[in-house]
Chain A
Amino acid sequence: QKEVEQNSGPLSVPEGAIASLNCTYSDRGSQSFFWYRQYSGKSPELIMSIYSNGDKEDGRFTAQLNKASQYVSLLIRDSQPSDSATYLCAVNTGNQFYFGTGTSLTVIP
């Protein structure tokens, strides 16, 4: 079982819709959770971090964490074509950092 699992997609949503990206992790002791965005040919950039159960909102982005279900999600409201990228879920457990393989999102104008 992989430490972090994501649906590779591709996920396509129309412009203006809500994009929902999901991630599950295997270690219940994981403490910190992150979402990164990676455009094609570029390195990942951090867009959200979440440390406690519940929702965390930042502009059009909302991260949701459910530690009991070992589940992290990222919602992107009012999706824009510029949101088209690969989204990586990352989990920090102790000194270890684990990345999912990423979900490819395409926002259709």
Chain B
Amino acid sequence: GAVVSQHPSWVICKSGTSVKIECRSLDFQATTMFWYRQFPKQSLMLMATSNEGSKATYEQGVEKDKFLINHASLTLSTLTVTSAHPEDSSFYICSARVVGSEQYFGPGTRLTVT
């Protein structure tokens, strides 16, 4: 069944640097990909929705210039956290879906900014 991968699974970076996270749908073509962030013991927070070939739609309060999303193909979306700061440390999870179906989640990427 539908498999979504994320890379890297964890990353540590220094404050001020940028980090790119990849999300791939391995066995299906995803019409839409979603990016979530989750802080410890809190619920999922949707950051943005991305459709292949078009600009991502960001949720209110999410800085589009800080969290750059590229959805270049039906199987790949990337999230770049630019000029990362310690408060950006979180668990970032992507998901993918085909129109009319459920979302399938990647395993997540744990980002720590020192």
**Residue positions of A touching B, CB distance < 8 A:** 32, 34, 36, 41-46, 49, 88, 90, 92, 95, 97, 99-102
Instruction: Count residues on chain B whose CB falls below 8 Å from chain A CBs.
Output: 16
Contact A97 B34 (CB under 8 A): yes
In the complex, how many residue pairs between chain A and chain B have their CB atoms under 8 Å apart? 37
Contact A43 B102 (CB under 8 A): no
Contact B43 A97 (CB under 8 A): no
Residues in B whose Cβ lies below 8 Å from that of A45: 105
* B93 interfacial by beta-carbon distance below 8 Å: yes
Known: A88-B44, A99-B43. A44 touches B105 (CB 8 A): yes
Instruction: Show 16 residue pairs from A and B whose CB-CB distance is below 8 angstroms, ordered by the A residue.
Output: A32-B100, A34-B102, A34-B103, A41-B91, A42-B108, A43-B105, A43-B106, A44-B93, A44-B105, A45-B105, A46-B102, A90-B103, A95-B32, A97-B97, A97-B103, A102-B43
